[in-house]
Structure 1
Amino acid sequence: MAQNQQPIFQTKPEEHFVQIPINIERDSTTLINGNSNRKPNHWPTIILSIIFVIVGQSIARLLENFYYDQINRSEYNESRQNDGVWTQSLLQTVGFPLLLLPFLILTTRKHSQQQQPPITSEGFHYKSLAIIYICIGVVMSVQGRLSAMGKLEIPFGVFTLIYTTQLFFTPIFARFFNAVKFNRWVVISSILAIVTGALTLSSSFGGEPDEAEEDYARGSWSALFAGICFSLLLSNIQNVFDNYIFKRTESTTRKPSFASVFEVLIFSSLVATIISAAGLLIAGEQHDLKREMNAFSKGNGAYVMAMVGQAVSWQVYWVGIVGLVFSVSSVLANVISVITWPIVSVLVVIFFSFMDDEFDALKGVALITAALSAAAYFYRLHKENRDSAN
């Protein structure tokens, strides 16, 4: 009888012994994510998000150059130098209603398949999230406005160099606000991304000011704080996922859904759109829109398509960026955003001819460093998934 009872006493310790290493392994294999509530890296989601970032940012920047080229931005005088900055900020967020349909589809499917968490928990999270979404929306509108103004104040190459500093601030914010841990591959990827951003200084921009309009002090500060705001924005979004959205699924069988990406974007963009629209009306830019449309060399229809195209493209970009924060971290989202710049600069050379811009050695090297930066980060993700599977 004693011998028959022995396996029973061995089974229970073994079950507890197995559960402990699993938890430790999940923590240790989320060095990039910095949060054990995150699900393992899902490659289809990551790849799709990267495609959204590249396509969205490329089209949005091309249409932005097209807009400034067709309104003859170079002929503007100094008193009208910053016309349209609130409009450009508004275009980055005003297309958020397009996200309502996929958000409702994913949310309906999730609630029909899985059990909802307790009402008290949901109420607590929604009150906290409402405040956070307002803060994120404010940062989004400020970042869009500063970025648009900085590009009109200083040469685009100088703006690019200063704006690249976001890659310094994002790891800092991620380390202290999100408890993200780093390894050599993440550091290498970030360094290569910084080099990539710096090498795009030879890129051209349709709204670049002439020498009489340049204001290095104001433009430089605008570019710097725009980069800081973008870094802070990504860290706050990761904080939402790690400390609110992911945690509200802990007590249930639900897993974090991509619907949360649309949730963050819709509510934050709503706030940012209200702020940018108010700034546009206060600045009187609504009158400039009619003048620009009438003076648009390609016609009113092309003007409307350029503006609508920017609004749609920016939403595609934001879905990709927030999707990368959801899937991995704010650091990867920032890296992918910056290493897309050389692609945009090459496309500008192909479709436009600003200041006789051409494909030079700097653009070629930037494409190489961008590929190496992505490869370094992907290698780390591959090792992380491989280790978690063992």
Structure 2
Amino acid sequence: MSMNIESSLRDQEEMDTTMEIESSSIPQPKNNYKRWVRISIYVFFVLSCQALSTILGRLYYENGGKSTWMGTLVQLIGFPVLFLFRFFSQIKSTDTSFRQFPSFITLGSVYIVTGLLVSANSYMSSVGLLYLPVSTFSLILASQLAFTAFFSYFLNSQKFTPFIVNSLFLLTVSSALLVVNTESQSTAKVSRAKYVIGIICTIGASAGIGLLLSLVQLILRKVLKKHTFSTVMDLVAYQSLVASCVVLIGLFASGEWRTLTGEMESYKLGKAPYVMTLASIAISWQVYTIGVVGLIFESSSVFSNSITAVGLPIVPVVAVIVFHDKMNTSKIFSVILAIWGFISFVYQHYLDEKELKTIHTNPVGGSRLHVEEGHADIQSV
């Protein structure tokens, strides 16, 4: 698999006018198949690992896990997997770009800012998962789609077509429908106050994720200016390193580290399953991250978040099997709406791809297409 990920943005010059298009990069016709193979792989990573990590996270709490800081740490501590992935990706690709790389101070600032945001999102997510039912948590989290669209509009000048708006509307309604349905369910294991805290934290995490996805796209375009997969892996890995350090400080400062030994010994499934559960959560979150970032590069933050939103209704279905939740009519209808929204979004990308291919093969006015890594220039002759 080629490790030179095409930029989600491209610069197009025609008749001495420059116009930035936010949808997707222009692939060469012969590389179009490989691009969609990569997208399919990233979609699989997102859908499978998102459900797995959420279910395992709830499994940790259901069987005696009580540390929200540990629940946060396992979302981040697997970042060495990203370094391994980056190392092997470099073997298969060589960066021939001679663009000036950002300074150490600039890179450090980017990693610290995004790392702090990641740590905050992860902690709020852990609190939400502790206090809310799985279906409620996952489908409130689906509101990140609206937040990403909002932030992308201001940060990345995201343009919306009727099909995209339809997709966002359907996915949002799909999530809201299940949230309303699950809010009426009894939460006997937690107090009303903790239940409200769970909702607030989950909404906060959703907004933070939307901001992070849009901010990453902006950073890659304006700051790093180097659209390769290794660059993205560096960004995500180092921000995870920063976030892990922040969470470790919180773990020791809160004193929860003292309870971890007793927590492992009293874990209902045993000591070995306790360790395996936490390790599996750590690995699945990193594979999920690879998928999310890959989709941002191959398409856009909104498309990446749409796939994430499509995967969220899958979690309640898995919860029916694992936690014996009831699958009612509202949940089934929500899944149908999510699939409909996904199809709408993919169809818009198909139309964009078809239009770009027409421009590429039949340039207007005798234009010639000059393609560089990460962007394409159309110059009049």
Judged with a 3 Å threshold, the aligned counterparts in structure 2 of structure 1 residues 347 and 54 are, in CA distance, closer, same or farther, namely same
Q: Give CA-to-partner distance per residue, 1:249-302, whole Å, 9 cap, x none.
A: xxxxxxx33223322211111111111111111112222221121011221111
Aligned AA (1:92)? Q
- 1:315 paired with 2:306, answer no
Cα distance in 2 between the residues matched to 1:20 and 1:154: 51
Q: Which residue of 2 aligns with 1:329?
A: 300
- Aligned-residue offset at 1:123: 4.3
Q: Give CA-to-partner distance per residue, 1:133-174, whole Å, 9 cap, x none.
A: 211111110011112113334566665565443232211110
- 1:229 paired with 2:208, answer yes
Judged with a 3 Å threshold, the aligned counterparts in structure 2 of structure 1 residues 117 and 108 are, in CA distance, closer, same or farther, namely farther
- 1:32 paired with 2:23, answer yes
Contact 1:160 1:198 in 2 (8 A): no
Q: Which residue of 1 aligns with 2:367?
A: none
Q: How does 1:232-271 map to 2 (within 5 A)?
A: 232-245=211-224, 247-248=225-226, 256-271=227-242
- Aligned-residue offset at 1:209: 6.1
SS at the partner of 2:93? helix
Q: Which moved more, 1:155-164 or 1:215-224?
A: 155-164
Q: Which residue of 1 aligns with 2:124?
A: 146
Cα distance in 1 between the residues matched to 2:262 and 2:251: 15
Contact 2:63 2:268 in 1 (8 A): yes
Q: Which residue of 2 aligns with 1:84?
A: 67
Match of 1:52 among 24, 45, 70: 45
- 1:301 paired with 2:301, answer no
- 1:104 paired with 2:97, answer no
Q: Give CA-to-partner distance per residue, 1:69-126, whole Å, 9 cap, x none.
A: 221x7xxxxxxxxx41111111111101012122012234433xx43415xx1244x5
- Aligned-residue offset at 1:244: 3.2
- C-alpha RMSD of matched pairs (Å): 2.6
Kindly name which structure, 1 or 2, has the bigger radius of gyration based on alpha carbons. 1
Contact 1:92 1:314 in 2 (8 A): yes
Contact 1:46 1:324 in 2 (8 A): yes
- Aligned-residue offset at 1:197: 1.6
- Aligned-residue offset at 1:215: 3.2
- Aligned-residue offset at 1:39: 4.7
Q: How does 1:347-366 map to 2 (within 5 A)?
A: 347-353=318-324, 357-366=325-334
Contact 1:53 1:317 in 2 (8 A): yes
Considering fraction of residues, name the structure with more strand.
Answer: 2
Judged with a 3 Å threshold, the aligned counterparts in structure 2 of structure 1 residues 321 and 295 are, in CA distance, closer, same or farther, namely same
Q: Which residue of 2 aligns with 1:79?
A: none
Contact 1:152 1:209 in 2 (8 A): no
Cα distance in 2 between the residues matched to 1:340 and 1:389: 30
Ranges in structure 1 where 5+ consecutive residues have no aligned partner: 1-18, 74-82, 249-255
Aligned AA (1:129)? L
Aligned AA (2:327)? F
Q: Which moved more, 1:342-351 or 1:306-315?
A: 342-351
SS at the partner of 2:178? helix
Cα distance in 1 between the residues matched to 2:134 and 2:284: 21
- 1:378 paired with 2:369, answer no
Judged with a 3 Å threshold, the aligned counterparts in structure 2 of structure 1 residues 23 and 190 are, in CA distance, closer, same or farther, namely farther
- Aligned-residue offset at 1:23: 9.2
- Aligned-residue offset at 1:217: 4.8
Judged with a 3 Å threshold, the aligned counterparts in structure 2 of structure 1 residues 242 and 213 are, in CA distance, closer, same or farther, namely same
Cα distance in 2 between the residues matched to 1:110 and 1:236: 26
Cα distance in 2 between the residues matched to 1:244 and 1:68: 40
SS at the partner of 1:59? helix
Contact 1:133 1:268 in 2 (8 A): yes
The count of aligned residue pairs is 337
Q: Which residue of 1 aligns with 2:166?
A: 188
Aligned AA (1:322)? V
- Aligned-residue offset at 1:200: 3.4
Q: Identity across aligned pairs (percent)?
A: 30
SS at the partner of 1:305? helix
Cα distance in 2 between the residues matched to 1:275 and 1:209: 33
- TM-score, length of structure 2 as denominator length: 0.80
Aligned AA (2:45)? F
Cα distance in 1 between the residues matched to 2:233 and 2:188: 36
Judged with a 3 Å threshold, the aligned counterparts in structure 2 of structure 1 residues 240 and 144 are, in CA distance, closer, same or farther, namely same
- 1:339 paired with 2:322, answer no
SS at the partner of 2:106? helix
Cα distance in 1 between the residues matched to 2:135 and 2:13: 52
Cα distance in 1 between the residues matched to 2:221 and 2:13: 22
Cα distance in 2 between the residues matched to 1:23 and 1:264: 35
Cα distance in 1 between the residues matched to 2:173 and 2:234: 34
Cα distance in 2 between the residues matched to 1:140 and 1:102: 20
Contact 1:58 1:343 in 2 (8 A): yes
Cα distance in 1 between the residues matched to 2:291 and 2:67: 26
Cα distance in 2 between the residues matched to 1:23 and 1:62: 53
- 1:169 paired with 2:140, answer no
